Amino acid sequence: MVQKKQISHSRILITCRLLILLSILALPCNAFASSLSGQVLNISTDTRIILQTKDGRRLPVTLAGIKSPPFIGRRASIGKRHLQTLLAGRFVTVDPITRSASGVILGRVLYGGSDVGLRLIRSGLALVADAPLPLDAELQHQYAQAEEEARRRKMGYWQTIR
């Protein structure tokens, strides 16, 4: 009788360990443990940069939580030019959120301690991305407030809207 209790107890331990292991394996493999830093080599679009890390890797990074405004004609490249002026050749930190199947990192880009996506929204050169945003609730709120302020002050894209 005592032997059956010990077997049951050991089976429970094995089952618990197996469940813990399976839980760990079920976590997204594209989750990141820490931030990346490096030099901005190229500005691909008004929401994507190419980052060269200290170990020489070149990583495409899309700014999380923002999207391009529908500028038309000559104004279409204004966001990209602004991002080039702000970041080209500079050293930035990226707080990665996820990575796409094609290897593009989606994350917050910080320059001088400032959130670049938030700066673009404040200047009216980016809009808050459609839901669901990959950002925490506090940051989503800041992005939404910045867009509302840019709209109210008729900054960037918002000066073209009547």
At 106-115, the pLDDT tens digits run 999 999 999 9
Domains of the chain: 36-160 (2.40.50.90)
How does residue 161 score in pLDDT terms, banded at 50, 70 and 90?
confident
Tokens of 143: 């992005």
17-65: per-residue pLDDT in tens?
Answer: 666 655 544 444 444 558 899 999 999 999 999 999 999 999 999 999 9
What are the structure tokens assigned to 50, written together? 């190419």
The pLDDT score that the predictor gives to residue 25 is 45
| Residue 147 contacts residue 158 (beta carbons within 8 Å) | no
CA distance 134 to 137: 9
The stretch 118-137 carries a mean pLDDT of 89
Nearest to 111 by CA among 102, 119, 99, 100: 119
In the chain, % of residues over pLDDT 70: 79
Dihedral over Cα of 30, 98, 51, 110: its sign: negative
> Would you state the pLDDT for residue 23?
52
How far is the CA of 117 from the CAs of 41, 51, 127, 141, 150, in angstroms?
18, 16, 9, 13, 13
Give the predicted TM-score (pTM) of the model.
0.76
